[in-house]
Structure 1
Amino acid sequence: MRREWERELGSGGWIGLGWECAEGAYGNRVGSLTQQVVWAEEYARVRAPGRVGHIGENLLAPTLIAAGDEAQRRRFLPAIARGEELWCQGYSEPEAGSDLAGLRTVAVRDGGGYRVSGQKIWTSLAGEADWCFVLARTDPGERRHRGLSFLLVPMDQPGRIEVRPIRQMSGTAEFNEVFFDGARAPHVVGGEGAGWRVAMGLLARERGVSTLVQQIGFAAELAAVVAAAVRGGAVRDPVLREQLVRQWAELRVMRWNALRTLGAAGDAGAPSVAKLLWGGWHQRLGELAMRVRGAAAALGPVDWSARAPYELDALQRLFLFTRADTLYGGSDEIQRNIIAERVLGLPRLER
């Protein structure tokens, strides 16, 4: 149903409003920054279906516009704009999560393309995606960020690509392990060896208008926690009441910070500051969701006919999922290093 919804959005030109290209060049509308914010916030406010095309629309497409060639843009952008092809991101590995330059996935030339072998982890949408952009080492003689390439890999390669869902403690499996065994990669973006530059450019685009959209969802979750505090009487506790007010105030600060930095080209620290703000805030909200309910937070409605003794409710899932907020997308420690080194000019961390 969500894939059908992507195609419905694409038929109206509503995918790719933020792409920096000529109006309608790839079947998309082009909106000003203000129009993008209005569209995204209203979409979130009416609780429209969750988007499964985010990675292709907001990460890969701007990267191809900036670093790809025209043949790659013509091949991939119209399909993304129509909502027909979904993408996943092949960055993190078991031994190279936040330390992306330490990755071990390799790719060797094979005719006009490459063959990729290695493992990626925490890959969102890998089981549903049609394509994956993969950062791999194409020059084994280089180390760290040198000798890497940004490759585009079709996921429909039986026997060459295996996807294993990762079951989380919340019971869901949004993330996956992906194993590549000589998988074909017919496209390289930006040229061989330019992978680190292309990948860092993509990460710089990862936050922006989507941060404001995310905050609409945060506001709805905060409202649910407040409602639970009112129903259970926890709002009468002055300490909990102060914590609820603090969460509300910090959410407003996040919005003002996002608006202040939106479209600020070249601000190397803006994405890291945003991630630090929302990651910690969302995790504290999950903890507060349990605190306002007291001992009852550990219980759920019992259904003895079910295979499990009970199902998690929304606030319990919120608490369990937010344990990862300060890790995925770049851990807090990595974000602080980026701010220290690239913004404040402090000495680089010795490795």
Structure 2
Amino acid sequence: MIRNEKGFTIVETIASFVLVMTLSLSMLSILLKYKDTAQVENLKNTFQTLKETVTKDIQTDVRNRGLLNIERSGSNAVTFRFQDGTSTIFSVTNNVSSLDADTIRDKHYTYNNINYHIPSGVPDELPAGALAKDYQSVNIDLSDFYRVYDVGTYTIYSVNVNLTYDDLEEDYGIHLTFLVNDEAGLVSVTRNMMQDSSFENEIVSVTEKSAAVTSGPDVVTGQFVGNVTPYDGEKAVYFTCDTGTCNTVLDREIPVTPGRTYTISFYYATGSNVTGSAAQFKDGSGNAISGFNVTDTGESWMRASTTWTAPEDVTAIYPGFGIETTGSSWMAIDAIQVEEGETVTLYHRT
């Protein structure tokens, strides 16, 4: 058998070479995978920092200067008008159809005359004959950029920039909601779309209630039944029930945007004889929103929530509440929250 000067046969030499190459390729694959993961994490951090910075700058001004209103200033800009007589424009570039690399690279938010750069994904140098738009990885959607809702003595202003990146699943855009009292100015910087969410200020009326409702719903205070007091603030809504399906729908319109996902939550307490939940919230077409799990709470407060996506033809929902009973009982509701997204957050009173 022929051996080389180191005493290895040809077969052994080839096998050693193959093993070394395999290990080298494996190490290279691991390094590349690590590099890709690191790049994605770095990209996530960049977009998250951008989102938090712009959001904080706007919210700080709104809180410190007092928001008067928000007006549209074009397809990609709005003007924040403050109670001290000043105003500031918030805008976003969205040149998605441009072939010019510099134009696409120059995507940015502008607020208070400060530009906040948005990474475009277009490399510094393009191959000969390549189109800049083919390298663009950032996607900006302004279809829901500005909305205003008039709900009685309150106005809700909503500013949304949907920003996604080809390599990332999350939306890293700007999403702001402000509730303004038309007489007193800014009430809260919040994502809670429910007006007077703890029933502290307005009377309660209903659009429907079942025959099993024996009294109410009424706004109550103090120790209104047993040892139960309102969960948040000084007031709650309370109604009593007979055997069967006991439910009611309040005349409180909550604006929503078709196609967007919301998390709906509320705190509730019940008396005895409760076997399950009846229809809770309903949309503007009268369809019940499913997913809530309401049980016998033993006269203590619990929180129920569900996630729901507004159908294309639905622009409002109404708070409704109900229980199934085998005998006399009651239900109390407080601290309602309707917020955009798929996660229930700490309750914020409006």
TM-score of the superposed pair, with normalisation by structure 2: 0.24
Higher CA-based Rg: 2
The structure richer in strand per residue is: 2
TM-score of the superposed pair, with normalisation by structure 1: 0.24
